[in-house]
Amino acid sequence: MAFYITQIYGGGSRDDQLQARVAQAAASIGISTIGIRQCQQERLATELLAALRPLSAGDGLIVQLPLASDQVVGETLLAVLDSLDKDQASIPLVLFLHRLLFSRPGLLEQSRALLKRSNAVIVPDSPAGRRVAQLDVTDRPVITCQLLDAVSNLSFSQLPTFSRHLNVCDPPTPAALNSWAVAAVPEHVYNAGFAVDNPACIDRGQAENDALILALHQEGGFGLLLDDDALQMNLGSFVAASLPLVVAKSNPQSAWVYRYGLGHVVESPAGAARCIRQTPAAIYEAMARRVEQFGRLSRRGYFLRRALLEGEYRALLDGQGLAKGAEQ
């Protein structure tokens, strides 16, 4: 018996990077990756069938959703699983739901049948868990994976440098970047896919993985969470770098940030600037110290591994319970 996890590739998008980070953590605990090439809707069933053929009766499967942006995949995947083995309960199924699924209208609802078929569901935060519960799948264990860990061998003997600036990673558009730019609080911008011409912004160029974490830690300041789709990866990078956070009150991670004192929860860019300007060094250091407690775990991949292992365990328990019931 083996456990597998899906990973989409070929789109060159943020989705690919998110899923690759999860698949990497899964590989570290013995879960093999099944690559699924992004393709048009009409070829999706053929692609899924070819990709999932290695599954045998009793093997478990973790499916990262969405499988393809803005496409209805639930019914297609169910049909493919059914064609592989008519006894659907013989393949324990865990769904790993990325935040993208919750930020685009209709995608989650289109997966209702697939959610009902699953043995366990992994969600990115508590609000996402409540959304899943509203779809009448409350008998499935819902596991929260608070961080998409930025796994790294880096370790820090000191806290990040105290500085009153914002760090922005992967801004989706110039408008999104400029909406938070305030002259009194500079922005250090990493991995922008466009020319950064706002005088309040400093373009730090391209940096990934360890190079990004190290740069963030050395430069210090605050980590700004800009949008939902990039939220999971950027949150992991900021926490790995021990940076205090600035997050909008409407952001699904705001309750977690507030509960553990990991930064400022704000209602507007002006509010963010005011909080940063009024933060003394001692308060900054206290927040950074609390973030580092999570960062030490996250750099070792704790949050992803814990969620994946719990999903695997719950799916196996559920599958054995179903098999026992069938025997009786």
Residue 26 belongs to domain with CATH number: 3.40.50.2000
Mean pLDDT for the chain overall: 87
End-to-end CA distance of the chain: 23
Res 328: pLDDT: 44
What six digits make up the tokens of 193?
């896919």
What six digits make up the tokens of 132?
């899943």
Per-residue model confidence as pLDDT tens digits over 57-109 = 778 999 998 876 555 677 788 888 877 765 545 788 999 999 888 877 678 88
- In this structure, the answer to whether residues 292 and 321 fall within a common structural domain is no
Residue of 149, 148, 191 lying closest to 172 (CA atoms) = 191
- In this structure, the answer to whether residues 291 and 183 fall within a common structural domain is yes
- In this structure, the answer to whether residues 295 and 307 fall within a common structural domain is no
Quick one: what percent of the chain has pLDDT higher than 70? 89
Residue 161 counted as domain residue: no
Residue of 118, 53, 46 lying closest to 84 (CA atoms) = 53
pLDDT at 327 exceeding the cut of 60: no
Res 227: pLDDT: 61
Residue of 250, 228, 217 lying closest to 124 (CA atoms) = 228
What six digits make up the tokens of 315?
């799916």
Res 181: pLDDT: 74
Residue 16 counted as domain residue: yes
Q: How far apart are CA 95 and CA 118, in angstroms?
A: 7
- In this structure, the answer to whether residues 107 and 121 fall within a common structural domain is yes
pLDDT at 309 exceeding the cut of 90: yes
Residue of 95, 70, 220 lying closest to 145 (CA atoms) = 95
**Most confident by average pLDDT, 70-79, 98-107, 169-178, 222-231:** 169-178
Pairing of strands 32-37, 3-9: parallel
Task: Output b/e per residue, 111-150; b: 16+ Cβ within 10 A.
Answer: beebbebbbbbbbbbeebbebbeeeebeebbbbebbbbbb
Res 113: pLDDT: 84
| More confident: 238 or 92 | 238
Res 324: pLDDT: 46
Res 250: pLDDT: 85
Q: How far apart are CA 229 and CA 15, in angstroms?
A: 8
Res 71: pLDDT: 57
The count of domains in the chain is 2
Res 317: pLDDT: 86
Res 23: pLDDT: 96
Q: Which domain holds residue 201?
A: 166-299
| More confident: 166 or 269 | 166
Res 325: pLDDT: 46
- In this structure, the answer to whether residues 10 and 139 fall within a common structural domain is yes
Reported as type and span, the H/E element at residue 236 is helix 228-240
Per-residue model confidence as pLDDT tens digits over 18-57 = 899 999 999 999 999 999 887 766 777 888 888 888 887 7
Q: How far apart are CA 314 and CA 140, in angstroms?
A: 9
Res 3: pLDDT: 93
pLDDT at 326 exceeding the cut of 80: no
- Name the band, by pLDDT with cuts 50, 70 and 90, for residue 281: very high
- In this structure, the answer to whether residues 188 and 257 fall within a common structural domain is yes
pLDDT at 10 exceeding the cut of 90: no
Phi, psi of 230 (to 5 degrees): -90, -5
